[in-house]
Amino acid sequence: MLINKSIHALIENDPSTSVSVLISHIKSTEGYTTTYRKTWLTKKKAIENIYNNWERSFHDLSRFVASYATIFPGMVVEKEILPMPPQGGQTVEGFVKFHSLFWSFGSCIDGFQYCKPMVQVDETWLYRSTRRSSL
């Protein structure tokens, strides 16, 4: 509990804070050296306390998109979920894995007809020879 209170603000500001930075922070503020495993588990719990767990976030995302779809007519939503990959050689029945989500508002889709066609080439290098041929 003491470790969680100590790192809560750090995790809230930057959830990607490394465990080694958290260990250093705990040592400097609390005068206590903790293990990597304990700090990693505490970081995971702090992230869940701040942002909820994955299952809740997935449920909230579905609810959020459904509410937007009722407010904005013509909204297109594509959600892709995949079956859970086998865990330890055994299939996991009844569970799915979130893969991707796409949404676009109807007004944005309608606006595409007024866009000017454009060709964009990216990651291309053009070379010009500086030598002149002596022919």
> What whole-number distance in Å separates Cα of residue 122 and Cα of residue 125?
9
Tell me: do 70 and 47 sit in the same domain. no
The domain tally of the chain equals 2
pLDDT category at 130 given cuts 50, 70, 90 is: low
- Helix, strand and coil in the chain, % to nearest 5: 50, 15, 35
Q: pLDDT tens digits, residue range 62-113? A: 888 889 888 988 899 998 988 877 777 676 777 778 889 999 998 888 998 8
Q: pLDDT tens digits, residue range 6-40? A: 788 888 888 888 999 988 988 888 888 889 998 88
Domain membership of residue 39 as a residue range: 2-51
* Tokens found for residue 112: 């595409």
Tell me: do 59 and 110 sit in the same domain. yes
